[in-house]
Amino acid sequence: MKLVIATRNAHKLEEIRAIFDFQSLEVCTAFDFPDIPDVVEDGETLEANAIKKAVTLAKATGCWTLADDSGLEVAALGGAPGVYSARYAGEHCNYADNNAKLLDELSGKENRSACFRTVIALSDPEGNVQTLDGSCPGTIIEALRGSNGFGYDPLFIPTGYTETFAQLDSEIKNRISHRANALQKAHDEWSSLLGSMGGMT
């Protein structure tokens, strides 16, 4: 049986594959279905976007589909950028633009606590969907550090560590991150369901 990962973000896909053991399932991605248009992530919550991506691709491909949406929630900014994390600096922005805007918005603010959050949705081909979430608290620093990872990783130090996500070894990040927490829950709660599809144990 095929399981579709609903993303065309190569960095995110690499993390998911590194964290989650799909064993005997045949894993495909949105890259394998080039005729399916990108899903417009216009939901007002991470949950809404994750569900929309999972259901849309599940119905379009006829396969079970796993999707996620993640965001950085910064306390001093009222939870922003949140659901708009990927496009914080505008629709056609890049990681550098988003990081620059975040630093600008936090300039002069003492409270730099933040939390990364991920919501994962799993949909069957009929659009029946269930969700799980994971989080990772931390702090936003005042200058970029590190060259690993992507997104806001060079600015985020997880609680209990002294290095940013972009400085930590990927093995460590993939054990403690918001996405890792959500995927671990998915493994614990959905293994029997996925196992019935592809023999996963």
Tens-digit pLDDT profile for residues 156-170: 999 999 999 999 998
Show me where the domains of the chain are located.
Answer: 2-196
- Predicted confidence at residue 23, as pLDDT, reads 66
Question: Which candidate in 35, 38, 69, 169 is catalytic?
Answer: 69
Told to judge if 35 belongs to the known catalytic residues of this protein, a careful annotator would answer no
- Is the predicted pLDDT of residue 200 greater than 60, yes or no? no
Q: Which residue has the tokens 């985020």?
A: 156
The C-alpha atoms of residue 165 and residue 186 are separated, in whole angstroms, by 22
Residue 8, burial from CB neighbour count under 10 angstroms (0-12, 13-18, 19+): middle
- Packing angle between helix 178-198 and helix 10-19, nearest 10 degrees? 70
Q: Pick one of 3.90.950.10, 3.40.190.10, 3.40.1440.60, 1.10.540.10 as the CATH number of 2-196.
A: 3.90.950.10
- Is the predicted pLDDT of residue 93 greater than 60, yes or no? yes
Q: Give 62's pLDDT tier (boundaries 50, 70, 90).
A: very high
Query: Which is higher by pLDDT, 6 or 10?
Result: 6
The C-alpha atoms of residue 90 and residue 58 are separated, in whole angstroms, by 29
